[in-house]
Amino acid sequence: MGSKTLQMLIVPLASMLLLLGSTSAQLSVGYYSKTCPNAEDIVRKEMIQILAKAPSLAAPFLRMHFHDCFVRGCDGSVLLDSTSGTKAEKDAKPNLTLRGFGSVERVKAKLEKACPNTVSCADVLALMARDSVWLSKGPTWPVWLGRKDGRISIANETKQLPPPKANLTQLIQMFGVKGLDLKDLVVLSGGHTIGTAHCSSISDRLYNFTGLDNLSDVDPFLDMKYITKLRSKCSPTDTKTLIEMDPGSFKTFDNSYYKLVAKRRSAFHSDWALLTNSFTRDYVLKHANGFESEFFQDFADSMIKMGNVDVLTGSQGEIRKTCSVVNY
């Protein structure tokens, strides 16, 4: 699919203009139209090849973009390696399960060959996240480009990332400080329709929910049949086994995530928390019963909004030659 086709907006014009209100004027669709006109085509071509060989990487690319934007804004800081004096974000506990860094470097290298010192790593990650969703049969959207890469990455700042065990009050606060509202929260949670999770991230819901440490100490808000199924895969101390976030269609971007949440069969406590608020609960129940095209539209809107969180533009950052290290 060419760059002109990519710019066929899934987002209606009125919605787009509304979103632009909080977006830096230095970001734009087609930002590289003169300096690297084939940039989006290059990314798309590489993504098709990458996901053809490893389709399970789609969710990690989406997650990586999310984790990037929630810490220091969408500046590519999640891609930086630790140095002798600083432990970087990617080595912090919430990011130890991130995958796909090598693929990001692969795409960046292709862009550097075609257009040296032009396309930022932050923009590469935003484009890869978009293409991951589209190649998983989900929506596409126009990515506003022109981000610059940051030069700072601090592991301790990953405390800003919403944890799997967060309740709704915590989630609202963590999204709110990024300029994301209640609708963005419930919509972006729908990204859990693709991907996997480690048993260690849900083991407390299965074995030790309140600290009693016995087989009866389970999360009462998790469906018992689902608990039995998860226990058949996850032991109390399992840190390596992966479970499907959306069993049966974890490689397909659809609205089935909401069906699981409604049935109390979602993996994370933060997913179940969506049922504790009237607005988010109504959204879950509505989209558990269809309205997939509406969800796709909402997801596109919220991804554009998230992708513009605290971006660096102009002279605020740099264009890294290699995404894992700052320029010297």
Binding site residue list: 68, 71, 73, 75, 77, 89, 162, 192-193, 246, 254
Mean local confidence (pLDDT), 225-242 = 92
Per the confidence metrics, is the pTM higher than 0.85? Answer: yes
Q: Which residues are catalytic?
A: 67
Write the pLDDT tens digit of every residue in 141-180. Answer: 999 999 999 999 999 999 999 999 999 999 999 999 999 9
Binding site residue list for heme b: 192
Write the pLDDT tens digit of every residue in 277-295. Answer: 999 999 999 999 999 999 9
Binding site residue list for Ca(2+): 68, 71, 73, 75, 77, 89, 193, 246, 254
Determine the distance from the C-alpha atom of residue 80 to the mean position of all C-alpha atoms in its chain, rounded to a whole number. 17
Write the pLDDT tens digit of every residue in 112-134. Answer: 999 999 999 999 999 999 999 99
Backbone torsions φ then ψ of 41, nearest 5 degrees: -65, -40
Determine the distance from the C-alpha atom of residue 261 to the mean position of all C-alpha atoms in its chain, rounded to a whole number. 18
pLDDT, residue 109, reads: 98
Binding site residue list for substrate: 162
DSSP string computed for 129-168 = HHHHHHHTT----PPPB--BB-S---GGGGGGSPPTT--H
When the pLDDT of each residue in the chain is averaged and rounded to a whole number, the result is 91
Helix (H, G, I), strand (E, B) or coil at 73: coil
Does the pLDDT value for residue 13 go beyond 50?
no
pLDDT, residue 208, reads: 84
